[in-house]
Chains A and B, each alone.
Chain A
Amino acid sequence: MAQTTKTPTAAPPGDLPPTRQNFVDLVKAAEWGLVGGATATFVSAIGMVPDFDGRTLIDPFLTLGYLVLFLVPFAFGYMAARPLPTLEGQEPVRVGPKNVLAGAIAGTVTGLVLFVPTLVAVNFNLRSVFVNLSPAMADTLTLGQSLGVGLLLLVVLCLVAGAMGAGVNVIPARWRVPVMTGLLWVLTVGLLEDLATQLLRGLNLDALVGVFFAPGGGLKPAGAIIVFVLVFSLQLVFQRRPPGLKARYQALDQSERRRWTIILIAATAVIVYLIPIVLGGFMSEILDLVGIYLLMALGLNIVIGFAGLLDLGYVAFFAVGAYMTAVLTSPGSPALTPELTFWAALPFVVLAAALSGVLVGTPVLRMRGDYLAIVTLGFGEIARILFLSDWFDPVFGGAQGITQIPSPSIGPFEINTPPQFFYPIIVMVFVAAYISWALANSRIGRAWNAIREDEPIAEALGVNIVTAKLSAFVVGAALASFAGALFASKIGAVFPNSFSIIVSIIVLVIIIVGGMGNLAGVAVGALVIVGLPQLLREFDEYRFLLYGALLIFMMLAKPEGIIPSRRRVAELHQEEMSQDAWLTAEPESELDEARTTPATAKD
């Protein structure tokens, strides 16, 4: 095997000890390969690779299945070839062919490990236990070739993938980002082919569809190259960013700034107006769902991101909003049938949700962290069970729920198709985003922040934590009830089972993955967590597996989320940042700044 031989690679002579400079740690690389092999085996054996084989990304040669499979040696090749971190005062470690070799070794080992599931699937029948360890899987892994040729091909491709992953480390930093962004865009466009073609058709660019996409699905090689070159060059141009747009905007005088604000708002309005028209019914349906979850995520962001109250029963407020709307508007509601219009019902819905916020918030005022999480988790379930219960059956209809909820209407226009529903949802989202922003930069927002950082101290400084916490619950509940009201009138019916605990979890995942405390981050989180699984039906079966993997990855690699808030980054990287601040600090008087001892408790 490769890892037993020492390779005297031509390394540049340096003053550093040979362990740092001259050798590839082959054992380490092989270890990465073994972990990669286990991962690839897992991914294949649960059926992801054969299942995803149906979706073509780049027409003749790359399907989603193979992407998932070869992403594993690519990622572990990258890990195996990562250079040692350079410490202050050390000469940076030079990267070169030896790193690529390490990646190739990791990839090869991964490929070799993949022999196991292939050979097992061909020679034994374990399908009573491992359902997906089938000849079909073996066939996919051997790329449709005969066993010998196929396995050889598999190892070679894994080797190449590993070396490519390693190559990411070797490319100079200036080129790395454009190349990776380009590749990412090619894969994304291939993956979201439906969205892309719909977009082109909606913009009346039908002719381009044929240029980019193959009739059987997937990008044409030419299309892939066009996308890559386009993104690559754009990224290269915009890497040298012009002096901050925001600063330039703030430098404008009052009237200029107002004009630009109006232009921006108008442009946003036009784009928002066009989105559902361009995207059509199916995509709008997905966007509606994303919007409803986004609305909830913005609300939960206030409770968790701002006030630091870990509420796991958030779905309760969503349910209250939906059920209140149903009771107040539906002619089919079992007990009360005031049959209000959607808009007339909305104030009552928000009032009811605010009340339920106080109801949930009051008993947990003195609870923190884990205890609060568990208790609110219980409240969430209690809400669902109450709506399901026989006790409330005469009012909420038990398991049958409430049907015939009318669609909202604006003047003579009734809102009942998905593209039409997009508008009230997006308006609500903007309202919620504005509310979040306004509250974050206010007296009450500062009080929430202080409570999140140090509750007893906030109280000792004069913050009334009872009203501050309750107002966080109330605002969060109100936003969730907006989402509930829109959900109920969009679906036209409510059932207790729509409000299971998983809704709370998904909303929480959205804000963690997207970036807690940041509005743009939460929006991206909602698109990724709710939108993608709808768009890629293959993912549905593996949804929770992928959520879990994504969460673990985010916690390890980027705990502050995809688009984090500045404050969140500071919180999670406090030590490094205070180091940096210390290094770059302007020297004050002689002794003062020399004592940068961390403020640890004295007793």
Chain B
Amino acid sequence: MALLEINQLRKTFGGLTAIEGLDLHVDEGEIVSIIGPNGAGKTTLFNLISGLFPVDEGEMLFAGQSLNGLFPNQVTELGLARTFQNVRLFPNMTVRENVMVAQHCRTKSGILRSILRTSKFRHEEAEIKARAEEVLGFFGSRLVGYRFDQPAFVLSYANRRRLEIARAMGTDPTMILLDEPTAGMNPKETTELTGLIGKLRDDHGITICMIEHDMQVVRGVSDRVICLDYGRKIAEGTYQEVATNEQVIEAYLGRKATDAAS
């Protein structure tokens, strides 16, 4: 059953067409990778789904609900979280607080309850904290213990990426959009994260759609691969199918180069 379904999506920026007539679906429990050369419209697609940009034409359905015209926080509330390509944490908040913020849409305490410190409030606050620490535990020992109270800006690059994923997990999603989760990581970290992405689906039942440039990662975890170019879908299928697709090779390497090579 399709968890996320996109029909005839279109988005233009002035004269530039970023997404054109795109059909796409992600089934529940799937790991789908989206690849494509720079400027293919991959991140734009994520921004449209998560409500950061308004859609020009087309329809996006998540678990049967239309995402069109929703604010980003409403999309997250439906259970669709995301990470960002250029890691954007709250650098001056602690590691734990970064994840605690993510529980915002799952909790209710308002001004009055916070001021009066009712037992309900204290109970909820303890739950938020416990949930945040549980999520951070997903990455083994990397983000726990003394890390809880460190501000996010002291983290190494790889840890920042991990914290971003933890933060997305903190919103209790059914699906996560990962925007280049392994960018800037070394081979060892990349392998580790590839394993974790699989675990995210297998152990936590979270459906994943990710943009990725590292073909090792794509091959390692994807059930299905979709290739975009100039805002259109040019290929779809298993990794093998897409990797050997003429149009995909052409999009990455260019026509002349392939001609010359053959």
Cα distance, A442 to B113, chains bound together (Å): 9
Cα distance, A571 to B109, chains bound together (Å): 28
Asked if A596 and B156 sit within 8 Å, CB to CB, the answer is yes
Is residue B249 within 8 Å, beta carbon to beta carbon, of the partner chain? Answer: no
Asked if A595 and B121 sit within 8 Å, CB to CB, the answer is no
Which residues in A have their C-beta under 8 angstroms from that of B189?
591-592
Kindly provide the distance from the CB of A1 to the nearest chain B CB, expressed in whole angstroms: 50
* Residue of A442, A447, A596 most packed against chain B (CB within 10 A): A442
Kindly provide the distance from the CB of A256 to the nearest chain B CB, expressed in whole angstroms: 21
Could you tell me how many residues of chain A have their Cβ less than 8 Å away from some Cβ of chain B? 49
Binary interface encoding of chain A residues 572-589 relative to chain B, with 1 for a CB under 8 A from any of its CBs, else 0: 001001100110011010
Determine, out of B5-13, B97-105, B221-229, the stretch whose residues face the partner at the interface: B97-105
Kindly provide the distance from the CB of B6 to the nearest chain A CB, expressed in whole angstroms: 19
Asked if A460 and B82 sit within 8 Å, CB to CB, the answer is yes
Cα distance, A450 to B77, chains bound together (Å): 17
User: Which single residue of chain B is at the shortest CB-CB distance from A597?
Assistant: B157
Cα distance, A453 to B92, chains bound together (Å): 8
Is residue B71 within 8 Å, beta carbon to beta carbon, of the partner chain? Answer: yes
Cα distance, A514 to B51, chains bound together (Å): 40
Which residues in A have their C-beta under 8 angstroms from that of B186?
591, 595
Cα distance, A460 to B46, chains bound together (Å): 12
Asked if B111 and A475 sit within 8 Å, CB to CB, the answer is yes
Kindly provide the distance from the CB of B107 to the nearest chain A CB, expressed in whole angstroms: 6
Q: A454-B90, A599-B86 are in contact. Are A464 and B154 (CB under 8 A)?
A: no
Kindly provide the distance from the CB of A561 to the nearest chain B CB, expressed in whole angstroms: 16
Q: A439-B114, A456-B72 are in contact. Are A599 and B171 (CB under 8 A)?
A: no
Task: Determine which of B82, B93, B115, B156 lies in contact with A450 in the assembled complex, contact meaning CB atoms within 8 Å.
Answer: B93
Asked if B73 and A446 sit within 8 Å, CB to CB, the answer is no
Is residue A567 within 8 Å, beta carbon to beta carbon, of the partner chain? Answer: yes
Task: Determine which of B50, B90, B114 lies in contact with A449 in the assembled complex, contact meaning CB atoms within 8 Å.
Answer: B90
User: Which single residue of chain B is at the shortest CB-CB distance from A466?
Assistant: B71
In A442-466, the 8 Å CB interface with B consists of: 442-447, 449-450, 453-454, 456-465
Is residue A438 within 8 Å, beta carbon to beta carbon, of the partner chain? Answer: yes
Is residue B110 within 8 Å, beta carbon to beta carbon, of the partner chain? Answer: yes
Could you tell me how many residues of chain B have their Cβ less than 8 Å away from some Cβ of chain A? 58
User: Which single residue of chain B is at the shortest CB-CB distance from A443?
Assistant: B109
Is residue A270 within 8 Å, beta carbon to beta carbon, of the partner chain? Answer: no
Is residue B188 within 8 Å, beta carbon to beta carbon, of the partner chain? Answer: yes
Q: A443-B125, A459-B73, A475-B111 are in contact. Are A571 and B92 (CB under 8 A)?
A: yes
Asked if A447 and B104 sit within 8 Å, CB to CB, the answer is yes
Which residues in B have their C-beta under 8 angstroms from that of A456?
52, 72
Binary interface encoding of chain B residues 74-86 relative to chain A, with 1 for a CB under 8 A from any of its CBs, else 0: 0011000110111
Is residue A205 within 8 Å, beta carbon to beta carbon, of the partner chain? Answer: no
Binary interface encoding of chain B residues 24-48 relative to chain A, with 1 for a CB under 8 A from any of its CBs, else 0: 0000000000000000000000000
Binary interface encoding of chain B residues 56-79 relative to chain A, with 1 for a CB under 8 A from any of its CBs, else 0: 000000000000000111001100
Cα distance, A454 to B117, chains bound together (Å): 28
Q: A463-B105, A591-B186 are in contact. Are A457 and B115 (CB under 8 A)?
A: no
Q: A449-B97, A574-B92 are in contact. Are A461 and B110 (CB under 8 A)?
A: no
Is residue A278 within 8 Å, beta carbon to beta carbon, of the partner chain? Answer: no
Which residues in A have their C-beta under 8 angstroms from that of B84?
457, 460
Cα distance, A449 to B81, chains bound together (Å): 20
Cα distance, A599 to B100, chains bound together (Å): 22
Task: Determine which of B88, B121, B157, B183 lies in contact with A442 in the assembled complex, contact meaning CB atoms within 8 Å.
Answer: B121
Which residues in A have their C-beta under 8 angstroms from that of B157?
595-597, 599
Task: Determine which of B50, B121, B158 lies in contact with A592 in the assembled complex, contact meaning CB atoms within 8 Å.
Answer: B158
Is residue B232 within 8 Å, beta carbon to beta carbon, of the partner chain? Answer: no
Q: A443-B114, A597-B157, A599-B157 are in contact. Are A462 and B86 (CB under 8 A)?
A: no
Kindly provide the distance from the CB of B143 to the nearest chain A CB, expressed in whole angstroms: 11
Is residue B199 within 8 Å, beta carbon to beta carbon, of the partner chain? Answer: no
Binary interface encoding of chain B residues 171-189 relative to chain A, with 1 for a CB under 8 A from any of its CBs, else 0: 1000000001001101011
Is residue A471 within 8 Å, beta carbon to beta carbon, of the partner chain? Answer: yes
Is residue A246 within 8 Å, beta carbon to beta carbon, of the partner chain? Answer: no
Asked if A438 and B115 sit within 8 Å, CB to CB, the answer is yes
Cα distance, A601 to B84, chains bound together (Å): 10
Q: A442-B114, A459-B72, A460-B72 are in contact. Are A602 and B92 (CB under 8 A)?
A: no
Is residue A435 within 8 Å, beta carbon to beta carbon, of the partner chain? Answer: yes
Asked if B158 and A595 sit within 8 Å, CB to CB, the answer is yes
Binary interface encoding of chain A residues 57-73 relative to chain B, with 1 for a CB under 8 A from any of its CBs, else 0: 00000000000000000
Asked if B104 and A461 sit within 8 Å, CB to CB, the answer is yes
Cα distance, A471 to B86, chains bound together (Å): 30
Which residues in A have their C-beta under 8 angstroms from that of B125?
442-443
Asked if B102 and A461 sit within 8 Å, CB to CB, the answer is yes
User: Which single residue of chain B is at the shortest CB-CB distance from A580?
Assistant: B154
Asked if A603 and B114 sit within 8 Å, CB to CB, the answer is no
User: Which single residue of chain A is at the shortest CB-CB distance from B110?
Assistant: A444
Which residues in A have their C-beta under 8 angstroms from that of B150?
581
Cα distance, A483 to B245, chains bound together (Å): 71
Q: A446-B97, A595-B186 are in contact. Are A460 and B111 (CB under 8 A)?
A: no
Is residue A593 within 8 Å, beta carbon to beta carbon, of the partner chain? Answer: yes
Task: Determine which of B93, B97, B156, B184 lies in contact with A602 in the assembled complex, contact meaning CB atoms within 8 Å.
Answer: B184
Is residue B251 within 8 Å, beta carbon to beta carbon, of the partner chain? Answer: no
Which residues in A have their C-beta under 8 angstroms from that of B188?
591
Which residues in A have their C-beta under 8 angstroms from that of B167?
461
Which residues in B have their C-beta under 8 angstroms from that of A588?
142
Asked if A446 and B104 sit within 8 Å, CB to CB, the answer is yes
Asked if A463 and B104 sit within 8 Å, CB to CB, the answer is yes
Cα distance, A595 to B160, chains bound together (Å): 11
Task: Determine which of B87, B90, B151 lies in contact with A599 in the assembled complex, contact meaning CB atoms within 8 Å.
Answer: B87
Q: Which residues of B contact A (CB under 8 A)?
A: 50-52, 71-73, 76-77, 81-82, 84-93, 97, 100-107, 109-111, 114-115, 117, 121, 124-125, 128, 142, 146, 150-151, 153-154, 156-160, 167, 171, 180, 183-184, 186, 188-189
List 10 contacting pairs A-B, 8 Å CB cutoff, sorted by A.
A435-B115, A450-B93, A453-B90, A454-B90, A459-B71, A460-B50, A461-B101, A582-B154, A586-B146, A596-B156
Q: Which residues of A contact B (CB under 8 A)?
A: 434-435, 438-439, 442-447, 449-450, 453-454, 456-465, 471, 474-475, 567, 570-571, 574, 577-578, 581-582, 585-586, 588, 591-593, 595-597, 599-603
- The 3 A-B residue pairs with the shortest CB-CB distance, nearest first, are A462-B105, A442-B114, A462-B76
